[in-house]
A and B are shown apart, each in its own frame.
Chain A
Amino acid sequence: MLSNQLVVELKRAITKKNLFFWISIIVLLPTVRFYMVKEGYQFYEPIEVFHETVSGIIPLLFPVIAIIIYLPSFLQEQRNKFITYTRTRVPLHIYITSKGLVNALLTGIVTFLLIFLPFLFIVYFEQKLGIIHYSPSNEHMRIPAVTFSQFLSHGALTYGLIYSSWVAVNGIVYSTIAFMLLLNVSNPFIALSIPFLFYHILNFVTGLFHVAIFSPLSTIFPFNIEQQPLWTVLVPFSFLLIVLAIVFVFSIRNENEWMI
């Protein structure tokens, strides 16, 4: 029954309008940033261009991006009691589980492509087009390494795949927390704002206590600090998972009071 409902939900979600919206996110945000950084920066390697391209707008808006991929359509259903009328057709827990899984899947795909497509373009195609002027490097010059560039020793593609997956996993966790908050918090605006506030308040607090290496910003988009051991990224992520687990357990126990 769940697999059938997953197929139904995917069919419902993959509309021309949504595809256009998702492609716009994937293409527009990196493109705008790419054109902002193509002049006025001195680059030696394509990977630096990639780091700059996925800095700025995307990290600033990251929780919002994760939330707007699928949850507005769920909010539409929730707000106008549509879900009540699905309940004679499919058990509620199956319906909500399928919604949660489709939210995670689509958020994961879009946030993955949001990072991976610019990576492919910049590292493999841009040099043929010659849009960026690369300064010649010399043996004395050291390109600063960032967290995750440890994987570059396994090849650029490996790095691109692992880093994009990391961003996607974080996107999934943020949007899943927002999804479950929507079920439990009566004001949807507050429910959708909490992940965004959580992300930025944690950035602020870690900065205040001089542990910015553990901030969500510097662990999901680690281009503003020098390379850190990989375990550091797991610190805020573990905290995020604990929050997710708490919200999940609360949601299960609070099923009778869900905002549906």
Chain B
Amino acid sequence: MSIVISLKNVSKSYKGLTLFQNVNLDIEKGSICGIVGPNGSGKSVLFKMICGFVFPDEGSIVVDGVEIGKSKRFPDNIGIIIDRPGYIANKTGFQNLKELAMIRGKISDEKIAETMEKVGLQPQAKQKVKHYSLGMKQKLAIAQAIMEDQQILILDEPFNALDAESVNNIRHLLLSFKSEGRTILLTSHNQEDIDILCDRVFRINKYQLEPVALVKNESSTTHHLKPNSF
């Protein structure tokens, strides 16, 4: 399998705090990779470096064959959820997605509506995002990350605030993306999400990414992953 995301000897300090020292990581195409670690360990900063939002102090990050920060400021074809959902409060969910989609002009209104339905939102709803629940805002964040068929998904706590049924639906969705060959890097504080979804897991410990042995068997995965109800 080809390597889609590659970190070579990456070191990073953020606001005077050392987060990473000589980190190496290779993520293969079509895999789901989990990053775990306590609050403040640097998961978001790691994701921001891969997206090109911040740059490593040392080392290099190559995404889809292109070094971030050299010829490119951010990778093409990447969908993200970082920190928390972002939105324009006084617009509807559809209008929010439409305004993001207009930037690249790659997808139609139908595709936006279809994506909203996929994540469990109603595209025709006139409800403004300021009246959305936290879970609905999270679904909107997931929708913007996937609506343009992004091939690399960087998802920081994608299951935050979702109800059990929606968690199940999004898990199905992510697994279907994996089977399509999309690459997913995610964090979750819920071990079950990690167990069900991830092919490989790394823990941030002492400024390094340590591989974590996965306890994964077919029966536990199928037990937790119910049939999709959406």
Contact = CB atoms under 8 A, between A and B. Distances in A.
Interface of A: 4-5, 8, 11-12, 73, 76-77, 79-92, 256
B194 to A, nearest CB: 24
Contacts of A79: 89
B88 A76 contact: yes
Contacts of B82: 84
B102 A11 contact: yes
A8 B102 contact: yes
A80 B86 CA distance: 5
B88 A8 contact: no
A87 B103 contact: no
A84 B85 CA distance: 9
B148 to A, nearest CB: 8
B78 A88 contact: yes
Nearest to A98: B103
Given A80-B87, A82-B86, A82-B87, A87 B102 contact: no
B87 A90 contact: no
Given A73-B88, A81-B83, A81-B84, 4 more contacts: A80-B86, A82-B86, A89-B103, A256-B54
Contact of A86 (B84, B89, B100): B100
A12 B100 contact: no
28 contacts: A4-B105, A5-B103, A8-B102, A12-B102, A73-B88, A76-B90, A77-B88, A80-B86, A80-B88, A81-B83, A82-B96, A83-B86, A84-B53, A84-B80, A84-B82, A84-B83, A84-B86, A85-B80, A85-B144, A86-B100, A86-B103, A88-B51, A88-B78, A88-B79, A89-B103, A89-B104, A90-B103, A91-B74
Contact of B100 (A73, A76, A85): A85
Contact of B103 (A8, A81, A84, A92): A8
B131 to A, nearest CB: 13
B192 interface: no
Contacts of B102: 8, 11-12
Nearest to A91: B73
Nearest to B99: A12
Given A5-B103, A11-B102, A91-B74, A85 B89 contact: no
B211 to A, nearest CB: 28
A83 B83 CA distance: 13
B53 to A, nearest CB: 6
B92 to A, nearest CB: 13
A73 B91 CA distance: 11
Nearest to A90: B103
A260 to B, nearest CB: 10
B10 to A, nearest CB: 18
Contact of A87 (B74, B84, B89): B74
Interface string B98-140: 0110111100000000000000000000000000000000000
- Of A5, A81, A82, chain B has the most CB atoms within 10 Å of the CB of A82
A12 B101 CA distance: 11
| CB-CB nearest 9 A-B residue pairs | A81-B86, A89-B103, A85-B86, A82-B86, A84-B86, A8-B102, A88-B78, A91-B73, A90-B103
Contacts of B85: 81
A90 B104 CA distance: 8
Nearest to B130: A80
Nearest to B79: A88
- Of A8, A81, A89, A90, chain B has the most CB atoms within 10 Å of the CB of A89
Interface in B56-74: 73-74
A26 B150 CA distance: 44
B100 to A, nearest CB: 6
A77 B141 CA distance: 14
Contacts of B54: 256
A119 to B, nearest CB: 34
A76 B89 contact: yes
A89 B88 contact: no
A73 B90 CA distance: 9
